[in-house]
Amino acid sequence: MIRVDITRLLRVGILFVAAWNLAACKENPTVVIYTSVDRHFAEPILQAFEDETGIKVEALYDVEAAKTTGLVNKLIAESDRPRADVFWNGEFLQTQLLAQRGLLTAYATNGQQDQQHLWTAFGGRARVLIVNTTTLPQDQWPDSLADFLEDRWPGDQMAIAHPLFGTSATHAAALYAAWGDAHAANFYRSAQARGVRIVDGNSVVRDLAVKGEIMFGLTDTDDACSALENGEEVAVVFPDQSDGAIGTLVIPNTVAMIAGAPHPENGKQFVDYLLGENIALELAEAGWFHVNGTDVLTASCNLPDQVTVMQVDTAALYEALARIKLELRDILVR
Amino acid sequence: MLGNTHISWSTNLARLIFVVLILIVAIGPLISLVIDTASWAWRSSATDFDNIASWSRQFYLLLKSAGFAIAVTIADVLIAVFAASRFWTWNTRVSWTVAALLFSMIAIPPYIHILAWRFAIDWLNAQLGTVGLPELVFSGWGAAWWVQTMALAPVSTGLALLGLYSVDSRLFDVGRLVRPDIDAFRLIVLPLAAPPLLAASGFVFLFTIVDYSVPSAFLLNTYALEIFAEFSANHSTARAFLTSSPLLVLTLIVLALTLKFLRQVPVRPHLRKRSRQCTPFWPRWFARLQGLAVAILVIQIVVPIFSLGVLTNNWTAIEDAILSASDEIMATARTAALASVIGIPIAFFAASRMGRVRTYWWFLVLLPIGLPAPLVGIGIISLWNNDWTYAVYDSELILVLTYLARFLAVATLVMYAQLRRTDSLLLDAARIVRPSGTAYWTQIYIPLMMRSGLVAMILTFVLALGELPASLLTLPPGSSTITIRVYNYMHYGASEMVASLCLLIPLLTIAYSTILFLLAYGWRQLLPKLPRRVE
């Protein structure tokens, strides 16, 4: 009796696995896109590509809560047998990391590329100060990152996102390059010592400013401008724009082909589509991009037409990033 | 003779299948991580190990994290004991309804508890402001402790209820004849209900110590954040795994203590339903603490539902959320349900071997609880992303395997706690009459294990519904889960959609629990009835 049960069990198991395998057979043509761009902004673009080309898009989106341990680590873990065709990233250092590890393949485009044509940068988000206009009149608005250490504002009335993760980590690396290691480390050490809130993500900085729990904070344009567009009592300020100041960091999107991708031709078609002029405008209108080079793309965020951009050497930033993150971990995670 | 040999062969085959399943599903990701780490260590130079350990800082961080986890565990166990002892005296149906409601709240992700409690405190402060009272301060260690305690209170209370209902009420009644009710409860009921309570305290401690989201939201750094910082800095699974090793050691210690106590618990079966003729008389202090615990649990349920309800604002938002995330809702329900169904026989087998085989077996089965979830995800990718198993890796089944890798240990511990309370005399008696293999299982063993089996299934289902960090890594392209969708929306401030989807999560749990209870009821109805006793 038991033997019969086990045989049945095995049959059911084999049928079950076969059913899953059949279900796993995907129809062509397909392109697999991994993207760290917010789903809200990326999904309409992917849908439009699918409608226009007939190529089915299978997308994976990252979430802010994963603290950059998401898609990049997945791409690294899958490197022996890649599943993605294209990586569309909301910043550039993680893409550079994939390039350094040999996980990207060259594809020449007309856009701004790295030397080996492994990735293309386009559009951009800027690091900005979001100010609560109810608690802080315009004549008291901050205009520099150095203001986080000024006694004029109580420490707990300011916030930055954790500089170990996401675009805040990229910004921290850029500050280390611009200010020098000692100055930058001292900035974060002093900020923590005076009680500046070091919170989970840029959207948390935005929410704190919107609710008036802080006077101002450091975030990205997409987060800050979305609050302004929702009619919240906030203002958005580019920091360090005066003569001789370092400017603010502009973080472009990057797009890259994955080495050994299962659908390389469809992937290239998507890359070309994404780098088309219309897409950048669509993303700007949707509120994802606000800056392209030194030009400010949208008027809705009450920003000046031009921005002074912090000059960065991508390769040097990448080389220093891991060391800086560990140093910041030792300073901040206590 | 031939028959006996035959049964022995097939029994051994069944055992082998289960051992292989456990090795692949539960321990596989861990083995894969260990191999990757050993391979990395073999290839690395001394400089590659730089900055992995910063002893004094990490030790202090670990102590701080353990202190936080212990504080949450103590609070949750106290709430569980007092509240469950009150529910225990109520009508069974009412208390099971309460337990189902509590379980349905487990699936709400920690971030949503943070959102809900912040919203509720803001609302309360606004009310206090209108009458000129000072505002409540909700930040730092205290706020993190409260939110984490609230997020995990359903686990501990649900399991405590399971423990109390496993106690034969005649023993309590006998004790009440000679000692006050409170003494009978303390000296007889609590020790007998201890296995699920101990399992609950182990879960709460381990879930707390591996989670950084709630402490981090209230600016409290923990050791779990250290691991993520390391992973984010170097993107090296091996270095992250080495960084997490102190947590694994701590997990081993907690598991060893939990299991040691579990094994020491006196084994007595429950055979009769609890008599309800005589309600226990509790001392005033005890009754007040029971009332307080029940009130806290009511708050635990009401605050998220109230906050999410207010944030949802209208029915249209719920309709929109359901329509836009229908694929995710279906996929999550499907995979979580499948994980809970597949997990039960495996968990039962693992639990049944715990009492018989050496210690390393149950350490291996239970250790994945202490692994950081993203590392579990990476381990699963290493294990399944190859030519042989790509069809599984590229399908929704990989989500089922992810949920099993993360939560099979939970189901196993629940089943083990119940097995400790199953009367071996009953099973021996059943063997004497030599029923067929099927009858032995369907008419004797499964009904005996039904209650804990249902609890383990619901627990696996709700934990799977709320899983994020591992499934984010293993998810097949083109699909998503309800929790990932919630986090997608949360980033750009779509609070109406977030709240609507979060309200759906307890509803899914209640629907699934109802289906399971109906199936269990149907099963019982199909069983042969015992002849009525002739007086």
- Is A24 in contact with B395 (Cβ distance < 8 A)? yes
- Is A69 in contact with B469 (Cβ distance < 8 A)? yes
Chain A residue nearest residue B111, CA to CA: A65
Predicted pLDDT at B435: 63
Of the candidates A20, A26, A77, the beta carbon closest to that of B397 is on A20
Predicted pLDDT at A78: 93
Which residue in the block uniquely carries the two structure tokens 């102590």?
Answer: B63
Chain A residue nearest residue B470, CA to CA: A70
Q: How confident is the model at residue B167 (pLDDT cuts 50, 70, 90)?
A: confident
Residue A151 has pLDDT above 70, yes or no: yes
The CA-atom distances, in angstroms, between B268 and each of A6, B139, B405 are 32, 46, 32
Tokens (6 digits) for B271: 């055979």
Residue B1 has pLDDT above 50, yes or no: no
pLDDT tens digits for B394-410?
Answer: 899 999 999 999 999 88
Residue B336 has pLDDT above 70, yes or no: yes
- Is A164 in contact with B232 (Cβ distance < 8 A)? yes
Which is more confident, B448 or A22?
B448
**Chain B residues inside the 8 Å CB shell of A39:** 488
Please provide the average confidence, as pLDDT, over all residues in chain B.
82
- The mean pLDDT of B504-520, rounded to a whole number, is 86
- Is B491 in contact with A206 (Cβ distance < 8 A)? no
The CA-atom distances, in angstroms, between A171 and each of A128, A161, A175, A191, A312 are 11, 10, 6, 15, 10
- The mean pLDDT of A211-217, rounded to a whole number, is 93
**Chain A residues inside the 8 Å CB shell of B397:** 20
Tokens (6 digits) for B283: 């001392």
- The mean pLDDT of B81-94, rounded to a whole number, is 81
Q: How confident is the model at residue B5 (pLDDT cuts 50, 70, 90)?
A: very low
A245-259, A294-308, B518-532: least confident range = B518-532
Q: How confident is the model at residue A4 (pLDDT cuts 50, 70, 90)?
A: very low
A6 and B376 in contact (C-beta within 8 Å)? no
Q: Cβ neighbours of residue B159 under 8 Å, at least 6 residues apart?
A: B80, B196, B197, B199, B200, B203, B414, B417, B455
Chain A residue nearest residue B377, CA to CA: A74
Nearest CA distance, B45 vs chain A (angstrom): 17
**Strands A30-35 and A56-61, sheet pairing:** parallel
Is the minimum CB–CB distance between B126 and chain A shorter than 8 Å? Answer: no
The Cα B389–Cα B395 span in angstroms is: 10
Judge if pTM exceeds 0.80: yes
Which is more confident, B165 or B92?
B165
- The mean pLDDT of B361-368, rounded to a whole number, is 78
Is the minimum CB–CB distance between A97 and chain B shorter than 8 Å? Answer: yes
Q: With a CB-CB cutoff of 8 Å, which residues 370-399 of chain B face chain A?
A: 374, 377-378, 381-382, 385-387, 390-392, 394-397
Strand partners, A248: A309
Is the minimum CB–CB distance between A333 and chain B shorter than 8 Å? Answer: yes
Predicted pLDDT at B8: 66
A12-21, A143-152, B413-422: least confident range = A12-21
Residue B499 has pLDDT above 50, yes or no: yes
Chain B residue nearest residue A323, CA to CA: B233
Q: How confident is the model at residue B274 (pLDDT cuts 50, 70, 90)?
A: low
Residue A110 has pLDDT above 70, yes or no: yes
A&B contacts, CB < 8 Å = 177
Chain B residue nearest residue A226, CA to CA: B492
- The mean pLDDT of B280-284, rounded to a whole number, is 87
| HEC string for B488-499 | HHHHCCCHHHHH
Predicted pLDDT at A2: 40
The CA-atom distances, in angstroms, between A192 and each of A26, A148, A161, A331 are 51, 10, 12, 9
The Cα A125–Cα A298 span in angstroms is: 11
Closest CA to A153 of A175, A169, A174, A131: A131
A133-147, B95-109, B477-491: least confident range = B95-109
pLDDT tens digits for A72-92?
Answer: 989 999 998 999 999 999 989
Tokens (6 digits) for B426: 């009953």
Is the minimum CB–CB distance between B226 and chain A shorter than 8 Å? Answer: yes
- The mean pLDDT of B29-48, rounded to a whole number, is 85
Q: With a CB-CB cutoff of 8 Å, which residues 397-426 of chain B face chain A?
A: 397
**Chain B residues inside the 8 Å CB shell of A56:** 478
> Is the link from the previous residue into A29 a cis peptide, with omega within 30 of 0?
yes
Is the minimum CB–CB distance between B3 and chain A shorter than 8 Å? Answer: no
ipTM above 0.95, yes or no: no
Predicted pLDDT at A9: 57
- Is B221 in contact with A333 (Cβ distance < 8 A)? yes
Q: How confident is the model at residue B142 (pLDDT cuts 50, 70, 90)?
A: very high
Residue B355 has pLDDT above 50, yes or no: yes
Predicted pLDDT at B249: 87
Predicted pLDDT at A154: 93
Rg (alpha carbons) of chain B, rounded to whole number = 24
Closest CA to A202 of A217, A215, A219, A189: A219
Closest CA to B29 of B480, B365, B498, B459: B365
**Chain A residues inside the 8 Å CB shell of B498:** none
- Is A80 in contact with B473 (Cβ distance < 8 A)? no
pLDDT tens digits for B434-465?
Answer: 666 677 777 777 777 787 788 889 889 988 99
Residue A299 has pLDDT above 80, yes or no: no
The angle, 0 to 180 degrees and rounded to 10, between the axes of the packed helices B55-88 and B223-234 is 130
Q: Is B390 helix (H, G, I), strand (E, B) or coil?
A: helix
Which is more confident, A238 or B259?
A238
Which residue type occupies B57? R
